[in-house]
Amino acid sequence: MRVACIGEAMIEMSLDGDAASIAVAGDTLNTAVYLKRSAPEIEVDYITRLGVDPMSDRIRGFIASEEIGTERIGTDPVGVPGLYAITLNDAGERSFTYWRSASAARGMFADRDFSTLEGYDLIYLSGISMAILPHRVRLALVEYLRNCPAKIAFDSNHRQRLWNETDARQITSEFWSFCDIPLPSIDDEMALFEETSAAVETRCRGMRGLGALKRGASGPLSIGEPIQQNYSAAASVVDTTAAGDSFNGGYLAARLRQSQQADALRAGHELAARVVGYRGAIIPKNAM
């Protein structure tokens, strides 16, 4: 089983008063890490572009340390990694400040050559993966993925500042029309399509494929198969960064191990509940 995760790996700065800790993260990279940790036997590659600077080297080293393949990471002689800072409120809810306009990842697939995506059983990407690309590249990538033999998993993961609403709705709707494993979040879908939570749930129940609508502490809504089960609340909420990404990793790992839908939903929720008890996007290995 070979999985490709596409996106932007960034330097994460987590603020704690006047102090800051530095790490490596990024939405699809977070999912790749949690997928690989949850199912070590699955071959997971990360696909992005990095520069030739020390921070790019740090990112490459981190990805390799998680036993995720780096062979298909492109190199940009000019670009550098993006940076983001996490600020938390008293409830553990996070806000982000980004510096990513010169990110090397924005140059992925600039020549519209998608040969690096060949040979995979599953390709996973997100709305952020698409938002950082020029629109002509987005459209070409959508067309490639629609027709490629791999299964496609997609998380809409909407960041309004990265692209305009028209393009975001168009691209996201395209993915919902053909992806095999839809992994939307209720807040993102409400914001992007200007719908109530009830309307989002109704629409997601009718999506093609087998996946999950992430609803935070309420637990996931099954897409493609009716499931009724209860989910335990997180023991402690310190930082909600990567809650959805870790759910995706746990859920995908279970699905790829041929678990039943109910078990996969529970695996994703339980992993996310553990992750929000720690600061930062990627928790220590010994906390898994």
Mind telling me the catalytic residues? 245
In angstroms, rounded to a whole number, what is the distance separating the alpha carbons of residues 46 and 68? 7
Q: Which pair of structure tokens corresponds to residue 135?
A: 């629109």
Burial class for 238, CB neighbours closer than 10 Å (0-12, 13-18, 19+): middle
DSSP class of 161: G
Contact predicate 220/208, CB 8 Å: no
In angstroms, rounded to a whole number, what is the distance separating the alpha carbons of residues 39 and 147? 27
In angstroms, rounded to a whole number, what is the distance separating the alpha carbons of residues 105 and 129? 9
**Pairing assessment for the beta strands 10-16 and 19-25 based on DSSP bridges:** antiparallel
DSSP characters over 220-242 = PEEESS------PPPS--S--TT
- The HSE-up count of residue 288 (CA atoms within 13 Å, CB side) is 19
Q: Cβ contacts of residue 286 below 8 Å, gap of 6+?
A: none
Angle made by CA atoms 168, 176, 271, in degrees to the nearest 5:
95
Residue 160: closest CA among 117, 98, 204: 98
Angle made by CA atoms 230, 159, 130, in degrees to the nearest 5:
100
Angle made by CA atoms 37, 39, 43, in degrees to the nearest 5:
95
